[in-house]
Amino acid sequence: MRVSQLFGTTLRSAAEGELISHQLLLRAGFVQQLAAGIFSYLPLGQRSLEKIRTILREEIDAIGGQELSMPVVHPGELWQRSGRWQKVDQTLVRFQDRRGRDMALAMTHEEVVADLTAAQVSSYRDLPRIVYQIQTKFRDEPRSRGGLIRTREFLMKDSYSLDRDYQGLQSAYRRHFRAYFRIAARAGLPVAAVLSDVGMMGGGMAHEFMYLSEVGEDTLIFCPSCGYAANQEVAESRAEAAEVAPMVAVEEVPTPGSTTVAEVAAVLGVEADRIAKTVAYTAEMARGQTGTLVLAVVPGNVEVNLAKLRNVTGAIELRVATEAEIAAAGGVAGYMSPVGLDKVAVFADDRLSRKRNLVAGANRAGWHLRNFNLDRDCPTATVVPLASVVSGEACVNCGHSLELRRGIEFGNIFQLGTEYSQSMGATFTDESGHSQQVVMGSYGIGLGRMLACAAEEHHDERGLALPISLAPYQVALVSVGADREVVDLAERTYTELRGLGLEVLWDDRDVSPGVKFADADLRGMPLRVTISPRSIKAGGAELKRRRGDPFTVQADQAAASAASQVRLMEEEMSSWVDQQMLPVEDLIKNTLGECP
RNA sequence: CGGGGCGUGGUGCAGGGGUAGCACGCCACUUUUGGGAAGUGGAGGUCGCAGGUUCGAAUCCUGCCGCCCCGACCA
Q: Where in chain A is the domain with CATH 3.40.50.800?
A: 473-574
**What CATH class does A251-384 carry?**
alpha beta
The pLDDT value given to residue A320? 82
- In a 13 Å sphere around the CA of A495, the CA atoms on its Cβ side amount to 6
Q: With H, G, I as helix, E, B as strand and everything else as coil, classify residue A166.
A: helix
Question: What's the angle, vertex CA A375, arms to CA A373 and CA A379, rounded to 5?
Answer: 120
Q: Judge if the beta carbon of A441 is closer than 7 A to nucleic acid strand B.
A: no
**What CATH class does A27-69+104-235+404-456 carry?**
alpha beta
Least confident of A199-203, A463-467, A513-517: A199-203
Instruction: Give the Cα separation of A181 and A348 in Å (integer).
Output: 38
CA of A421 to C1' of B69 (A): 42
In chain A, positions 147-176 with C-beta closer than 7 Å to nucleic chain B are 147, 150-152, 154, 156
pLDDT tens per residue, range A494-551: 999 999 999 999 999 999 999 999 999 999 999 999 999 999 999 999 999 999 999 9
Instruction: Give the Cα separation of A16 and A9 in Å (integer).
Output: 17
Q: Judge if the beta carbon of A142 is closer than 7 A to nucleic acid strand B.
A: yes
Question: What's the angle, vertex CA A506, arms to CA A49 and CA A518, rounded to 5?
Answer: 80
- Whether the pLDDT of residue A199 is over 90: the answer is no
Instruction: Give the Cα separation of A338 and A344 in Å (integer).
Output: 8
The pLDDT value given to residue A500? 98
In chain A, positions 6-65 with C-beta closer than 7 Å to nucleic chain B are 9-19, 22, 27, 33, 35-37
The CA-based diameter of chain A, rounded to the nearest angstrom, is: 98
In chain A, positions 486-525 with C-beta closer than 7 Å to nucleic chain B are 510-515, 517-519, 521-522
Question: For chain A, what's the residue count?
Answer: 596
Pick the CATH number of A473-574 from 3.40.50.300, 3.40.50.800, 3.30.420.40, 3.40.50.1240: 3.40.50.800
- Whether the pLDDT of residue A319 is over 90: the answer is no
Instruction: Give the Cα separation of A11 and A473 in Å (integer).
Output: 19
Rg (CA), chain A: 29
Q: Where in chain A is the domain with CATH 3.90.960.10?
A: 251-384
The pLDDT value given to residue A595? 66
Instruction: Give the Cα separation of A203 and A411 in Å (integer).
Output: 17
| Residue type (1 letter), A574 | S
Q: Where in chain A is the domain with CATH 3.30.930.10?
A: 27-69+104-235+404-456
Q: Judge if the beta carbon of A110 is closer than 7 A to nucleic acid strand B.
A: no
Q: Judge if the beta carbon of A454 is closer than 7 A to nucleic acid strand B.
A: no
pLDDT tens per residue, range A94-143: 999 999 999 999 999 999 999 999 999 999 999 999 999 999 999 999 88
